[in-house]
Amino acid sequence: MSNLAVRLLPVPLFLAAWEAGCRMAESTYFPPPSLIAARARELWFSGPATRLFLTDAAIENFVPSLGRMFGGWLLACFAGIVAGVAIGRSATLSAYLDPLIQFGRAIPPPALVPVFIVVFRDDLRMLLATIVIGVVWPVLLNAVDGARYVDRVQVDTARVFGLTRTQRLVRLVLPAAAPKIFAGLRLSLSLALVLLVVAEMTNGTINGIGYELVYMQQSFDMPGMWGIVALLAVLGLVLNLSFLLLERRTLSWHRLARRAV
C-alpha cells in the first residue's frame, strides 16, 4: 500500500506545479486546476445526494454517452469474437475474407461518420454504427490470431481424448485464445471512447460528452472545456484500470503459467 502511495506521490506535486504555473501565466486559456475543479463541480457534481450529487446536466449528457459507448463496444465484442474465432479456425474462410478484413481495418473509422449521418439519420444508430465499425477490428484481428495459433500439442491432446467439436471450441480454443482476445477488447474499449467523442462532436447530437464539449467551446467556457478534458482523462483511466483488473482475474492462469516457465 505504501508502495502505491510513493508511486502516486508525483500526482499532487504535478497538480501543484500546474496550479502555480497557471496563476503566474494568468492566461484565460489556461485556467488553474482549482478553477477547473470548481467549475466541474458546479456544472456536474452539485446535484442532490440522492442522485449521487450528479446534476441534471451530468445525467443528461454522461449517461447516454456511456450507454452508447458500452452498447457499441459490447456489440462489436460479440461480433468480433464470433467472426474472429470462426475465421481463425478455418483456413478456407480466412482465405476468402482476408483482403476484406485488411481493407476494412485500414479505413479510418471517423471517415465513415458523415456517411452514417446521412444513411441512418437518427443519432443512436449513427453513433452505434460508428463505434461498432470502428472498434470491431482489434477484437476481430486478435480473435483470429488467438484462435489460429492454438498449440499443436494441445490440439492433438484434445483430439486423442475424443473431445467433440463443441467441447474443443469451448474447452480449448476459447481459453487458448482468451489472452489475445482480452488484449483486443481492452484496445477497442479505449478506441470506443475516442470514436464516441468524434461522433458526438461531428453532428448535432442533442446530448452527450462530445456535445457538451462543443457547447462549451461555443460559449467560450474555458474552465468547462478543461473540465470535460479532465473528465475524459479520468474516464479513460478508470475504464482501462477496471478492464485490467477484470483481465487479471479472468486470466490469472495465463500470467502465472508464463511466470512459472
Partner 1 sequence: MMIRTAIRGAAGVAALLLVAEAAGRTGLADTRILPLASTVLARVAELAGDPEFLQDIVATLTVWASGLLVAVALAIPSGVVLGSLPRAETALRPLIEILRPIPSVALIPLVALLFAADGQVKTTIIAYAACWPVLINTLYGMHDVDPLARETLRSFGFGRRAVLLRVSLPSAAPFVMTGVRLAAAVALIVAISTELLSGGVGGIGVFIMKAGSGYRVDLMLAAAVWAGILGMVVNALLVRAERSLFRWHLARAGVVA
Partner 2 sequence: MLEITNLTHTYGRGSGAHRALGGIDLKVAEGELVCIVGPSGCGKSTLLRSVAGLLEPTGGQVLVDGRPVTGTPDGLAVVFQDYSRSLFPWLSVGDNVALPLRRRGLDRAARREAAGEALDAVGLAGASSKYPWELSGGMQQRVAIARALAYRPSLLLMDEPFGSVDAQTREDLEDLVLRVRGHHRMTIVLITHDIDESVYVGDRVVVLSRSPATVTADLRVNLPAPRDQIATRELPDFVRLRAEVGRLVRGTRPPGAAVLSDPSSN
Return the number of the residue (98 or 151) whose C-beta is nearest partner 2. 151
Pick 154 or 190: Cβ nearer partner 2: 154
* C-alpha cell belonging to residue 169: 471450441
Does the protein bind partner 2 through residue 16 (CB under 8 A)?
Answer: no
Give min distance, CB of 149 to partner 2, in A. 13
Residues contributing to the site for partner 1 (CB under 8 A): 7-8, 10-11, 14, 29, 92, 95-100, 102-104, 106-115, 117-119, 190, 193-194, 197-198, 201-202, 210, 213-214, 216-217, 222, 225-226, 228-229, 232-237, 239-240
47 binds, among partner 2, partner 1, none (CB under 5 to 8 A by kind): none
4 contacts which partner out of partner 2, partner 1, none, CB within 5 to 8 A by kind? Answer: none
Task: Kindly indicate which of the ranges 61-69, 154-162, 181-189, 190-198 contains the residues binding partner 2, using the contact rule CB under 8 A.
Answer: 154-162
232 binds, among partner 2, partner 1, none (CB under 5 to 8 A by kind): partner 1
Binding mask 26-55 for partner 2 (x = CB under 8 A): ------------------------------
253 binds partner 2 (CB under 8 A): yes
Q: Please report, as residue ranges, which positions from 195 to 234 form the binding site for partner 2 (by CB under 8 A).
A: none
Residue by residue, DSSP assigns the chain as: -HHHHHHHTHHHHHHHHHHHHHHHH--TTS--HHHHHHHHHHHHS-S-GGGTT--HHHHHHHHHHHHHHHHHHHHHHHHHHHHHHHHHH-HHHHHHHHHHHHHHHHS-GGGGHHHHHHHH-SHHHHHHHHHHHHHHHHHHHHHHHHHHT--HHHHHHHHHTT--HHHHIIIIIHHHHHHHHHHHHHHHHHHHHHHHHHHHHHTT-SSSHHHHHHHHHHTT-HHHHHHHHHHHHHHHHHHHHHHHHHHHHHTHHHHHHHHH-
Among 172, 181, 196, 222, binds partner 2 (CB under 8 A): 172
Q: How far is the CB of 160 from partner 2 (least distance, A)?
A: 5
Q: Which residues contact 224 (CB under 8 A, 6 or more apart)?
A: 39, 40, 43, 216
Give me 251's grid cell. Answer: 486470466
Does residue 160 belong to the site contacting partner 2 (CB under 8 A)?
yes
Q: How far is the CB of 11 from partner 1 (least distance, A)?
A: 5
